[in-house]
Amino acid sequence: MITSKISFGINPQMKKLAEELVPSYIRSLKPYAAGKPIDELAREKGFERITKLASNENPLGPSPFAVREMTNGLWELHRYPDMHGYRLKKALSDLYNLKMENIILGSGSEAILALIAKTFLRPNQEILTSENTFIGFYIVARGVGAKLNMVPLKDYKFDVKKMAESIDDKTKIIYLANPNNPTGTFITKDEFDYLMDHVPDHVLVILDEAYFEFAKNDPTYPDSMTYRYDNVITLRTFSKAYGLAGIRIGYGFGHEDLIGQLTKVKLPFEPNLIAQLGACGALMDSPHLQRTLDNNKKQFARTFNFLKEKGFNPIPSITNFICIKTGSGKASDWLNNGLLNQGVIIRALKSNEMPEYIRVSIGTPSEMDHFFEAMENIIPEYDKKFGLKK
């Protein structure tokens, strides 16, 4: 019986070799810091009650329709998935009145971001975006050696005026997350149109609408599928409002010539069979989506009011999460640890270059009760150490 783990041995050459194998822009990458998994905290602390409010997931879980479709699909696992994703593309094309050739599917919208980078970007080509937006995009862009030009946020929003002024001959791609993660803010139709008026036709705009379902009912939100610019690729996901983050599925929509190039580069059998089926099931269950939105609305209001009443600075958000200004990296870490010690996982935003902020996702009523209780337990000491608004 083998008792010890297989060892690759101590080889002083390996570090050097591994570094030499990659270009400098990969050597300097920092890996993505995700929300702490529930199992990890359970292993570390032995807690039974754990509430994860760290990754903007759907607290109600997936739709039963999605689970049924995925379960039925398990008996087809010996077959490769449909590489054209016909059923899902058809469902999306019916729902959003799109042509199927304008849709691309991916293993999460992040995989489509990576595909766009691989297809359209070369080392040293320039991207215009904002500071403090989705870090997954920064990693993808840096991973192909692109240069990121970042405009600071203004009032926690993309500063479309500054962005418009920053477009130059070298700008190849513009990335916008609308709504933005981690601030939860959005740019309006007027702001989006203003920016697009300044974007030359040869510049590609990636419009990441991962939180679209939460924002879509605001009349000033620019749902980019309903009014089109040919140089815009819209990205959406089943990870958030549809509750399928674990199975990895997202989609993009854009001009067929752009989508056609992406389709050539995409790994043919992504997204996997079960993911495609789950997404089809999720689209059949609009009551589940509505329950998700209703829960979010109620629990968002409770959470926002709680934070304000206690003297915190929550940023108004149109999404399923709230970004809170703590004022310092120390205060953010203290809160994060104080909550972790009581089984509540939130996100400190150090890796988003926002150390003086934290982010809390909206959960079920009982998950938010857990958050409120845990906060109540540490607020007096927090107030003494860092001070709250009276």
Ligand X SMILES: Cc1ncc(COP(=O)(O)O)c(C=O)c1O
Give min distance, CB of 136 to ligand X, in A: 6
Which residue type does 47 have?
F
Q: Which of 41, 70, 117, 177 binds ligand X (CB under 6 A)?
A: 177
Check residue 92 for interaction with ligand X (CB under 6 A): no
Check residue 110 for interaction with ligand X (CB under 6 A): yes
Q: Which of 191, 208, 213, 367 binds ligand X (CB under 6 A)?
A: 208
Check residue 270 for interaction with ligand X (CB under 6 A): no
Q: Which of 63, 183, 239, 317 binds ligand X (CB under 6 A)?
A: 239
Candidate segments 38-46, 104-112, 213-221, 284-292, binder of ligand X by CB under 6 A: 104-112
> Buried (b) or exposed (e) across 201-226, using 16+ Cβ within 10 A?
eeebbbbbbbbbbbbeeeeebbbbbe
Cross-strand bridge partners of residue 233: 206
Task: Count Cβ atoms within 10 A of the Cβ of residue 135 and give its class: 0-12 exposed, 13-18 middle, 19 or more buried.
Answer: middle
Candidate segments 81-89, 108-116, 124-132, 354-362, binder of ligand X by CB under 6 A: 108-116
Check residue 181 for interaction with ligand X (CB under 6 A): yes
Going residue by residue from 112 to 141, which x/- string records binding to ligand X, judged by CB under 6 A? ----------------------x-x-----
Kindly state the tokens that stand for 150. 């970042």
Nearer to ligand X, 65 or 238 (CB): 238
Check residue 245 for interaction with ligand X (CB under 6 A): yes
CA–CA separation, 324 vs 313, rounded Å? 5
Give min distance, CB of 2 to ligand X, in A: 37
Phi, psi of 199 (to 5 degrees): -95, 120
DSSP sequence for 111-142: HHHHHHHHHH--TT-EEEEESSS-HHHHHHHH
Kindly state the tokens that stand for 266. 């995409």
**Do 292 and 357 contact (CB within 8 A), yes or no?**
no
Q: How many residues are given for the chain?
A: 390
Q: Which of 51, 102, 109, 171 binds ligand X (CB under 6 A)?
A: 109
Candidate segments 6-14, 106-114, 124-132, 343-351, binder of ligand X by CB under 6 A: 106-114
Which of 123, 127, 131 lies closest to 154, judged by CA? 131
Check residue 213 for interaction with ligand X (CB under 6 A): no
Q: Which of 59, 81, 85, 108 binds ligand X (CB under 6 A)?
A: 108
* Residue ranges in contact with ligand X by CB under 6 A: 56, 108-110, 134, 136, 177, 181, 208, 210, 237, 239, 245, 250
